[in-house]
Amino acid sequence: MKVYLLLLPILLFSCNKSETDKHKKYENTENQCFILSNGINYDEASKPVSIPTHEEILKNLPKHIQIKSLPDFKKFSYDKKETAEMKGKEKEYFESNEYKNQFKDWIAALPEFNYVSVNDNFALAKNKYGLWLVEKINDQYKPYFLGLTQNCYLQDFYGKSQKFIQNNQFVMNGTLVDVQRLSRIPMLPKYEVIKDGISFTINLDDVRKDNDKDGFNDLFENFIGLNPNSADSDGDGIPDFEDHNPKYKSENSKFTSMYELVVDQPVKNEQYSFTEVLTNCEYFQKINPKNLKVLMYNTSEKAPIKEDVLDLFFPGKYSKMKTYENYPEVYFTDFSDATGDGTISAEFIKGKWKLGRKYTVTFGM
């Protein structure tokens, strides 16, 4: 009998501790997702980060990129007129028949990229993250992220066949620039020179490296925060390349399904591009969108994100969910994205969510 009396308090303590831990986890999740009392509107995760100086950008250039100064070079002009001309020519070029004919096969294989130059079995391409090298091998097209982001501007390469592959290296000339944008507002960016007249050199062995054989090269996985040594970064049984939420294990619950509807939308079939969402809400982090491919980041993960692409990361932000006394069954979240600002309402009716979207400000709609 004494044995049972001794064990009983231990069992009771274990149960109470388990229930307490469970309650704390639930309470923490609710606080991260809902406004339980009057407080901040937007999630703490949506606060802006500090912008690095030119010296910091130059110092923190990825180690696989070698740069050297050129004795003779074309200077980079960054006044508004030349910036507008440069972006205008780029847009005009990507819509031209010349472009469509020159890169016909490449576009057919991987239409999600914009192609800018070709060198034998290699094409130089770009998407929102920066520059990619696409290699053609036996009628198969394999993209590799170069780690050259907006900060690395390559001059005079549109539509030209250039020898950018030399001795198993990618080599091109250009300028290291600082790109400044007004967040969300579709205006031309301002470019400021960090270092003018340089040659960028990258070893192709570094570019092709894909330790986990998941279809994303290591440079890209390190850049976006996936595990380059695991083909399934979140351990959910779905390979990173096929996973619509590769950083977090997805869950099927009432509120994850709500957040899926909030963020999901019909999109083009893009394998090498994601929609980034910055949130500390576990319900939001564990969504499994049907259409959109997402990368979920929490506050502590924000720092490693490259500052030179932050204007392209996290295109929208969402407040914590809240309810009102007059509408206790309806959840509201404020949103702000490239289309405008407003409020999304979500009501759970007969086991399904019904969403409404009301704009207070619109951009280009």
Whole-number pLDDT of residue 141: 97
Query: Is the predicted pLDDT of residue 188 greater than 60, yes or no?
Result: no
Rounded distance, CA 222 to CA 228, Å? 7
Average pLDDT over residues 94-101: 93
For residues 332 and 13, which has the higher predicted lDDT (pLDDT)?
Answer: 332
- Name, of 27-41, 125-139, 184-198, the range with top average pLDDT: 125-139
- Provide the mean pLDDT of the chain: 81
β-bridge mates for residue 191, sequence order: 179
Rounded distance, CA 148 to CA 131, Å? 5
Whole-number pLDDT of residue 203: 98
Residue type, 244: H
Whether the Cβ atoms of residue 298 and residue 146 lie closer than 8 Å to each other: no
Around Cβ 348, how many Cβ atoms within 10 Å?
A: 15
Phi, then psi, of 290 in degrees rounded to 5: -75, -35
Contacts with 69 (C-beta within 8 Å, 6 or more apart), sequence order: 195, 197, 198
- Biggest CA pair distance of the chain: 93
Determine which of 31-35, 88-92, 159-163, 306-310 has the lowest per-residue pLDDT on average.
306-310
Average pLDDT over residues 65-85: 77
Determine which of 74-88, 190-204, 286-300, 342-356 has the lowest per-residue pLDDT on average.
74-88
Whether the Cβ atoms of residue 134 and residue 110 lie closer than 8 Å to each other: yes
Provide the 3-class DSSP secondary structure of residue 19.
helix
Confidence band (pLDDT; 50, 70, 90) for 332?
A: very high
Rounded distance, CA 102 to CA 336, Å? 39
Whether the Cβ atoms of residue 131 and residue 152 lie closer than 8 Å to each other: yes
Confidence band (pLDDT; 50, 70, 90) for 6?
A: very low
Confidence band (pLDDT; 50, 70, 90) for 16?
A: very low
Q: Counting every residue, how long is the chain? A: 365
Rounded distance, CA 228 to CA 144, Å? 13
DSSP 301: G
Whether the Cβ atoms of residue 174 and residue 201 lie closer than 8 Å to each other: no
Whole-number pLDDT of residue 78: 62
- Name, of 194-198, 204-208, 323-327, 347-351, the range with top average pLDDT: 204-208
Confidence band (pLDDT; 50, 70, 90) for 345?
A: very high
Rounded distance, CA 205 to CA 234, Å? 27
Whole-number pLDDT of residue 8: 29
- Name, of 162-176, 240-254, 350-364, the range with top average pLDDT: 240-254
Lookup: tokens for 296 = 């979920």
Query: Is the predicted pLDDT of residue 1 greater than 70, yes or no?
Result: no
For residues 77 and 101, which has the higher predicted lDDT (pLDDT)?
Answer: 101
Contacts with 358 (C-beta within 8 Å, 6 or more apart), sequence order: 342, 343, 344, 345
Lookup: tokens for 206 = 């570094």
Express each pLDDT in 231-290 by its tens digit. 999 999 999 999 999 999 999 999 999 999 998 887 777 899 998 888 889 999 999 999
Average pLDDT over residues 24-34: 67
Lookup: tokens for 213 = 């054989």
User: What percentage of the chain exceeds 90 in pLDDT?
Assistant: 44
| Type and span of the H or E element at 329 | strand 327-337
pTM: 0.84
Whole-number pLDDT of residue 58: 84
Strands in 130-137's sheet, in edge-to-edge order, are 140-148, 130-137, 122-127, 114-119, 160-161
Express each pLDDT in 106-164 by its tens digit. 999 999 999 989 998 999 999 988 899 999 999 899 999 999 987 788 876 665 667 89
For residues 364 and 245, which has the higher predicted lDDT (pLDDT)?
Answer: 245
Express each pLDDT in 291-320 by its tens digit. 999 999 887 765 445 555 555 567 678 888
